[in-house]
Structure 1
Amino acid sequence: MAAPLSSMTGFARSDGTIEGLAWAWEVRSVNGRGLDLRFRLPPGFDALEPALRTAAAKLLKRGNVTANLTVKREDQPKLAPDPAALEQVLALALELAARIPGAEPPRAEALLGLPGVLRPTTAADSEAVVQTQAEAIRQGFAAVLDGLVTARQGEGARLAGILDALLAEIDALRGRAAVEAADQPAQQRARMLETVQALLSEVPALPEERIVQEVAMLAAKSDVREELDRLDAHVHAARALLAEGENIGRRFDFLVQEFNREANTLCSKSASVALTATGLKLKATIEQLREQVQNIE
């Protein structure tokens, strides 16, 4: 069974709590020539990045991917006095009380209420707790990666429908061009006769070999069967890529360049207004195809 088509555009989120720590992953991806991974990790979690990069590279082949991790402790910090600050304000308060006759000694609650004396503190997590938290965050990243892959495949399914419709339109325009080009040899034959007569009337007369060359060049210019055959082959090749599904973006992009080459040559060989108009519509549709192909992984 063919792998589903994947877009390079997607978003996923995963969150959870572990050992008093709340964490959340958000991962976004957009178009890119290769795979560009960018991690935004809080201080203290940088050591996770190598393993996270390896995990992402196994599932994603192309795209600019940004992974953002936020963490927040759920337990409220405890207040504890700053020894240095407490000693300083206590010494000042006692000195001031000694200089004022009848002054009462400083009260503890008044000293503790001064700015900077009490500061929030959190107990350091044990090594086992830190490892448990790190493992939960790694598993959360695996979950968010799966979500991103699912999102990119969902976008890829929508994209496959658009590409199939554009290929059908290109095929229809190719068929129309074939009908319109059927009368082209006769039109070019008339032009050839005019050209030959002009060449024969020149003084001195051109050599017969030169006239044969001119006629052959005009005949070749009128024949677009080769371009139409190649367009037909490209449509079949594109549909085969869509059926294949997985990691086809670069090959499809190259194939679209070949589509464009044939459409340009078709327009340059056109000898009628109708065929030129069809060729221009063909080029416009191929450009739409190119824009959509840029989204394929």
Structure 2
Amino acid sequence: MPRSMTGFARREAKLPWGTVIWEIRSVNHRYLEPGFRLPEDFREIEPALRESIRKTLQRGKVEVSLYIQQEQENETELGVNLQRVIQLSKAAQQIHDQLGDKAALINPLELLKWPGVIQKQEVDREAQQAAVIDLFQSALISLVEHRTREGAELEQLIVQRLDAVSAQVVAVRARLPEILQAQREKLQQKIAALGVELDSERLEQEVVLLAQKADVAEELDRLDTHVIEVKRSLKQTDSLGRRLDFLMQELNREANTLSSKAIVSDTTQAAVELKVLIEQMREQIQNIE
């Protein structure tokens, strides 16, 4: 099934140390081209992110943004070194015992200012990065789902136009005997108008030459073959966009040949309709991975 190269995904998670937000956007591109906007503290995870994208996507310009909202310091992040407080209290008590009433009472807030009393809890960097990468994987899965849904819609549009191509081919093929007979009669009328007598063998030769020139059965057969191949390719995923683009070139080649061989306006009109349908498909295919 085809996947579109256009997609968007956003994932947000509130963790003990802050809020993590991933946003991934992807648009058309000939190759796979990921780009990252990461906070400096998370630059080291970029290789892992690139590898995940490389294994998951084939084509598209992918813009990845990471937003980190750190939690303000609170009771869960700050700790009091009670052992240090006890040591300071004993020291203060000793001073008080020596100086007596002359010693001022210790203000607990002053104790908190003493080096080593307040301890900021360290965040486990490996666990932090692992949580951020896990959330990225979830966002990447969401992006693929978005691209898959849009790809399914593109497939329907392409199949509709393929059916229209087949309808044009059927119409032209059905009219071929009528077209050739009309040309035979037209040739006979011209000969009669010129007053030239041709033996039946010579006339038949001229008709055969005309039929060969106007014969588009081969082109119609190839158009049918290409339509079948496009529908078959739509069930695949590997390098699908490039494969379909090539098939559009082949369809357009046959439509051009059909136009050049046209000897009546109906065939010319059919060739024009085919070109329009093929161009519409080509535009849609430009967005397929």
- The TM-score bracket by the shorter chain reads 0.7 to 0.9
| Residue 185 (str. 1) matches residue 185 (str. 2) | no
Matching residue of 2:36: 39
TM-score, with structure 1 as normaliser: 0.72
| Residue 61 (str. 1) matches residue 53 (str. 2) | no
After superposition, the Cα gap between the structure-2 partners of 1:44 and 1:195, relative to the gap in structure 1 and judged at 3 Å, is farther
| Residue 143 (str. 1) matches residue 143 (str. 2) | no
After superposition, the Cα gap between the structure-2 partners of 1:20 and 1:9, relative to the gap in structure 1 and judged at 3 Å, is same
Q: What is the Cα deviation at residue 76 of structure 1?
A: 4.9
2:242 aligned partner, one-letter code:
R
2:52 aligned partner, one-letter code:
A
Following superposition of structure 1 onto structure 2, how do residues 112-131 of structure 1 map, counting pairs within 5 Å? 129-131=124-126
Q: Give CA-to-partner distance per residue, 1:101-154, whole Å, 9 cap, x none.
A: xxxxxxxxxxxxxxxxxxxxxx99877522222111111111111000111111
After superposition, the Cα gap between the structure-2 partners of 1:214 and 1:63, relative to the gap in structure 1 and judged at 3 Å, is farther
Distance 1:142 1:175 in 2: 49
Distance 1:12 1:274 in 2: 49
Alignment partner for residue 258 of structure 1, among 250, 254, 264? 250
Other structure's SS at 1:44 match: helix
Identity across the alignment (%): 41
Distance 1:57 1:286 in 2: 31
Distance 2:250 2:21 in 1: 45
1:275 aligned partner, one-letter code:
T
Does the CA contact (< 8 Å) of 1:187 and 1:271 recur in 2?
Answer: no
| Residue 235 (str. 1) matches residue 218 (str. 2) | no
Does the CA contact (< 8 Å) of 2:17 and 2:123 recur in 1?
Answer: no
Does the CA contact (< 8 Å) of 1:6 and 1:246 recur in 2?
Answer: no
Q: What is the Cα deviation at residue 15 of structure 1?
A: 1.4
Matching residue of 1:13: 10
Consecutive unaligned residues of structure 2, counting only runs of 5 or more, are: 75-117, 197-203
After superposition, the Cα gap between the structure-2 partners of 1:256 and 1:233, relative to the gap in structure 1 and judged at 3 Å, is same
| Residue 294 (str. 1) matches residue 281 (str. 2) | no
Consecutive unaligned residues of structure 1, counting only runs of 5 or more, are: 78-122, 202-211
Following superposition of structure 1 onto structure 2, how do residues 63-212 of structure 1 map, counting pairs within 5 Å? 63-76=60-73, 129-189=124-184
Does the CA contact (< 8 Å) of 2:223 and 2:254 recur in 1?
Answer: yes
Alignment partner for residue 262 of structure 2, among 245, 270, 273? 270
Distance 1:157 1:35 in 2: 21
Q: Give CA-to-partner distance per residue, 1:65-94, whole Å, 9 cap, x none.
A: 1111111112159xxxxxxxxxxxxxxxxx
Q: Give CA-to-partner distance per residue, 1:211-238, whole Å, 9 cap, x none.
A: x999876443211000000001011111
Q: What is the Cα deviation at residue 17 of structure 1?
A: 2.7
- Taking only aligned residues, the RMSD between alpha carbons, in angstroms, comes to 3.1
Does the CA contact (< 8 Å) of 1:230 and 1:262 recur in 2?
Answer: yes
Q: How many residues align?
A: 240
Other structure's SS at 2:72 match: coil
Distance 2:191 2:73 in 1: 97
After superposition, the Cα gap between the structure-2 partners of 1:125 and 1:215, relative to the gap in structure 1 and judged at 3 Å, is farther
Q: What is the Cα deviation at residue 191 of structure 1?
A: 6.5
1:166 aligned partner, one-letter code:
R
After superposition, the Cα gap between the structure-2 partners of 1:161 and 1:125, relative to the gap in structure 1 and judged at 3 Å, is farther
1:56 aligned partner, one-letter code:
I
After superposition, the Cα gap between the structure-2 partners of 1:270 and 1:73, relative to the gap in structure 1 and judged at 3 Å, is same
Q: What is the Cα deviation at residue 250 of structure 1?
A: 0.8
1:281 aligned partner, one-letter code:
E
Other structure's SS at 1:33 match: coil
Distance 1:70 1:266 in 2: 56
TM-score, with structure 2 as normaliser: 0.74
Matching residue of 2:19: 22
